[in-house]
Structure 1
């Protein structure tokens, strides 16, 4: 027999391929596995089942009684009886299986949405001093992401965003599963569940009628229903406000004033309006920040007086708090109360005259803006009436960013001096400038330090200062440190601005500077006012004589009892004080 034949004879007979294993859904596999596990370990299975049910109940109740402000977080808030749970149990008991499961899942998703909105309310209350607006505020989440990226870096920000998204999805999933599980428990024990629901209802009514409390917190709760009603009312108010504010924005006391009758008493002057980021009343009156800030204000008042400058200061109540600085800027300049993004968009699209545009309309002033915080297109330039705007990329800065702030205030002021202030306008015109200083923007780490003005160059001198400063993450996590560093940042900004005036100002310089809003609640406190300081500084005594009847305090530090005006009243008072004649424009 040949080797070939032997090989052929040993070839096994062809067999059919094994049948493919049937596809089993993951949920089916999981159910089978858990059933076998329960059969093998019945005691452990019962214990785990009870634990999961208790956890589900705790999650649902916690979501139902969750407060919408950080200051109300406490054990007593979570020891309440939610009316929504009693009503929900009664409804679920009355439904057949399939509708019950569907309603339970939908209820869990709704509860998840309410929980997320409560969390947003907490965050907005801490940072902006108001509740989250479901119509207007989604765009601010993008700003928050940009702020985190500037403060903590891109990697940490991406990780934080991913964690938040995962947490939100987890909240929705867990609450949906929790409500379904509790509904199944009710269905398995209808008699006990019915009696328990009736007892809970009686207890809730009794506690509500008698006003019973635990630690000052009512035992009977309807937090979720109240929160949903508040959200609905907020939506309704927002929609109604949009139409009403359009009418308000069309009315302007100086809207038809001829060019020759606008700010005649400032002709020939070099007028500079400056906003200092987060410069609020707390900087001057809070026991942690005030000593250093007040000392700086007093020192700088004396230094300016020695150079021939004098100042008067008062208070304005800002339309915003903790952030959204553009609302404070536009409120001051428009004479309108611009407290939300919708109003801001309405005004920016209108022909309502801004204070800065009033100078442009005279034809006697060049108008310039220096905006180191602007890092993208800024169509608002047209409404502000600015002939030229220098943004963050047009000031030649080659130094490091200081967290959110693109450059130190001292550098921005030096660039303003070199590019604008030192160059006289053509045709003998005057100049009006709008400056937005950013070094006192949160998280107040690292903070720039003053350097010799002649050494500023392209800003590279700040590299060592930035590297040696505090890390943003360390300051953000420490409330006391945040308050201390905030105070230092205000001292820096005020010093930079007033040193610029002392060094480069002239007989014709008129400086108006103010804060745009108070710092966040973690720094200013949960019950801080919305007031910000405002000062007018000039060498020409006639400029301060024009506002003598305002009752403001002499110097850069306003007295505690100095007049307080709404920020929206400043435009008309300023125009009137410096000779403008009202010619109303009616909508």
Structure 2
């Protein structure tokens, strides 16, 4: 007890200077206020106005970047009127508590709106409270790889501080406004009644400004939207788990899987962010379409023909694994929960169909994989080469761990070029066209690739990521260059190393982010089949795809989850469904 008593005494002694310091500050403030009453009054009124503007802006805040326009903030928020009435009828202590809770809730809602804006810009959809927290860590990893560790840490700390600051400032603002209303109760009551009458009138008459209703319930609408999103996500989990257990080809015997491709080396390649914008955008398309036409002609001289169409991706801007899994599983996988459910099921992937048939060795070339990847078993890959397994000793190109040309040459050296007892089916993920599209690799002599050390000079000569990320026009230009590079690397590999029995299927996983596409709803990506054997392409004549590497504008558009079944059927697979 004496020890505790002495410690308590010391704490009290330490608190004295603190109290004295606080008292001195308050005294100085009162003296300054009394000495300059006009300035103090102006400051007080300014703070009141700023608090009101902050609260109204939060109540009217849109959750998309295009919605951040001045006319969105010229409306009458119903939540402000309801909040004012509630605070006016409460005694002091409950009023302060309710105002603080109201402000805290409004601050959290503002943070959710900011997350929605960010996710809409990068992934084309809003933030999901149930599923998307893990993607924030992926975003941090992306910033670290693209901009460096210091920038990533600063961005993470800044984001946390901003979220806390928004919540605290919103709570302080609502408490201040609540106290102001209480000091002017009579006038505030009249104002609330008038505002309520005006709101009801505007809502009843449907009055609008710039196409938007004057009477707003934006905050309540945001809360309803988030609630519905959560409820729909929870309901979807069970429904999708049942869907994943039902498979058109789940019980097909091995001998009836892909019989018309027996003896062929099949490569299924995904090109990062290879979307329709690459051949539609007036700034991007000239370079990309020229590359596609040039490479079509080069492949034709080497004896290859191609057919191209469109697939509508299940994702946009990022989360490439959702596009990969949708294409290969025949399931619509558009969120992380569906991905986890699918990859833990026995649903047959296209790549696993090759493995299950017993007619192919299977391998994955995954330069973007930098940690344990248990999904390899679900995809049916006998062996996977990740970012550390291909012998690369050169520099990273922003997020991409190695240039596509090197990854393809390593694929040839490690697997495709080896003598083997049976054909090879390969899944290849090309990453050089991953944002931020700076620096973009250049094609080099295939004979000089070595261990990739020569890329040091190529990287140094390239553009800085921060320069490109800050400019939408430059992002579009460099994006186009990266797509041309990836297509060139892949088709030159085929021209150089392909045989009469090589079949190449390549496609994009998703459209690039809104900085390149604009705020479009289009999610289409090109898909192409290339082969020397005319019988391979004859099997897909019924698809009505465009000859060459460039799909026509009016070429057929399928949902991405339709590809697996159409491919399996085209090459002789016989459906034998499993049911839940």
Match of 1:443 among 433, 436, 443: 436
Please report how far the alpha carbon of residue 419 of structure 1 lies from its aligned counterpart in structure 2 after TM superposition: 0.4
> Does the alignment pair 1:258 with 2:279?
no
Match of 2:498 among 489, 502, 505: 505
Please report how far the alpha carbon of residue 214 of structure 1 lies from its aligned counterpart in structure 2 after TM superposition: 2.3
Q: How does 1:89-100 map to 2 (within 5 A)?
A: 89-100=84-95
Alignment-derived partner of residue 326 in structure 1: 321
Q: How does 1:388-403 map to 2 (within 5 A)?
A: 388-403=383-398
Alignment-derived partner of residue 143 in structure 2: 148
Matched residue of 1:534: which SS?
A: strand
> Does the alignment pair 1:571 with 2:561?
no
Seen in structure 2, the aligned counterparts of structure 1 residues 390 and 168 have a Cα distance that, compared at 3 Å, is same
> Does the alignment pair 1:383 with 2:387?
no
CA distance in 2, matches of 1:24, 1:163: 31
CA distance in 1, matches of 2:248, 2:418: 34
Is the 1:513–1:536 contact (alpha carbons within 8 Å) kept by the matching residues of 2? yes
Please report how far the alpha carbon of residue 129 of structure 1 lies from its aligned counterpart in structure 2 after TM superposition: 0.6
Please report how far the alpha carbon of residue 168 of structure 1 lies from its aligned counterpart in structure 2 after TM superposition: 1.1
Equivalent pairs, count: 568
Match of 1:157 among 124, 139, 152: 152
Please report how far the alpha carbon of residue 476 of structure 1 lies from its aligned counterpart in structure 2 after TM superposition: 0.3
Seen in structure 2, the aligned counterparts of structure 1 residues 19 and 301 have a Cα distance that, compared at 3 Å, is closer
Match of 2:161 among 166, 183, 194: 166
Q: How does 1:406-445 map to 2 (within 5 A)?
A: 406-425=401-420, 428-445=421-438
CA distance in 1, matches of 2:14, 2:386: 70
Alignment-derived partner of residue 286 in structure 2: 291
Q: How does 1:359-370 map to 2 (within 5 A)?
A: 359-370=354-365
Alignment-derived partner of residue 240 in structure 1: 235
Please report how far the alpha carbon of residue 528 of structure 1 lies from its aligned counterpart in structure 2 after TM superposition: 4.2
Alignment-derived partner of residue 194 in structure 1: 189
Alignment-derived partner of residue 184 in structure 1: 179
Matched residue of 1:396: which SS?
A: coil
Seen in structure 2, the aligned counterparts of structure 1 residues 463 and 527 have a Cα distance that, compared at 3 Å, is same
Q: How does 1:274-285 map to 2 (within 5 A)?
A: 274-285=269-280
CA distance in 2, matches of 1:138, 1:174: 24
Matched residue of 1:404: which SS?
A: coil
Please report how far the alpha carbon of residue 27 of structure 1 lies from its aligned counterpart in structure 2 after TM superposition: 6.0
Seen in structure 2, the aligned counterparts of structure 1 residues 212 and 388 have a Cα distance that, compared at 3 Å, is same
Matched residue of 1:91: which SS?
A: helix
Is the 1:126–1:520 contact (alpha carbons within 8 Å) kept by the matching residues of 2? yes
Alignment-derived partner of residue 552 in structure 1: 545
CA distance in 1, matches of 2:14, 2:40: 36
Matched residue of 2:273: which SS?
A: coil
CA distance in 2, matches of 1:273, 1:377: 22
Alignment-derived partner of residue 446 in structure 2: 453
Alignment-derived partner of residue 460 in structure 2: 467
Matched residue of 2:152: which SS?
A: helix
Seen in structure 2, the aligned counterparts of structure 1 residues 503 and 26 have a Cα distance that, compared at 3 Å, is farther
- TM-score, length-scaled by structure 1: 0.95
- TM-score, length-scaled by structure 2: 0.96
Match of 2:555 among 553, 559, 562: 562
Is the 1:276–1:438 contact (alpha carbons within 8 Å) kept by the matching residues of 2? yes
Alignment-derived partner of residue 7 in structure 2: none
CA distance in 2, matches of 1:544, 1:21: 87
Please report how far the alpha carbon of residue 22 of structure 1 lies from its aligned counterpart in structure 2 after TM superposition: 6.6
Match of 1:70 among 48, 65, 68: 65
Alignment-derived partner of residue 198 in structure 2: 203
CA deviation string 1:457-492 (max 9, x = no partner): 011111111001110000000000000100110000
CA distance in 2, matches of 1:26, 1:287: 65
> Does the alignment pair 1:34 with 2:29?
yes
Seen in structure 2, the aligned counterparts of structure 1 residues 447 and 189 have a Cα distance that, compared at 3 Å, is same
Alignment-derived partner of residue 7 in structure 1: none
CA distance in 2, matches of 1:475, 1:23: 50
Please report how far the alpha carbon of residue 43 of structure 1 lies from its aligned counterpart in structure 2 after TM superposition: 1.4
CA deviation string 1:48-76 (max 9, x = no partner): 00000000000000000000111111111
CA deviation string 1:187-240 (max 9, x = no partner): 001100000001111111122222222222222111100000000000000000
CA distance in 2, matches of 1:111, 1:541: 63
CA deviation string 1:560-579 (max 9, x = no partner): 00000000000000000000
CA distance in 2, matches of 1:198, 1:30: 40
CA distance in 1, matches of 2:572, 2:318: 34
Seen in structure 2, the aligned counterparts of structure 1 residues 451 and 32 have a Cα distance that, compared at 3 Å, is same
Alignment-derived partner of residue 530 in structure 1: 523
> Does the alignment pair 1:349 with 2:332?
no
Is the 1:282–1:528 contact (alpha carbons within 8 Å) kept by the matching residues of 2? no
Greater Rg by CA = 1
Match of 1:336 among 331, 337, 351: 331
Match of 1:541 among 531, 534, 541: 534
Alignment-derived partner of residue 270 in structure 1: 265
CA distance in 2, matches of 1:515, 1:22: 66
Is the 1:521–1:528 contact (alpha carbons within 8 Å) kept by the matching residues of 2? no
CA distance in 1, matches of 2:291, 2:271: 15
> Does the alignment pair 1:50 with 2:41?
no
CA distance in 2, matches of 1:204, 1:226: 16
Larger displacement relative to structure 2 (54-63 or 157-166): 157-166
**What runs of 5+ residues in structure 1 fail to find an aligned partner?**
1-17
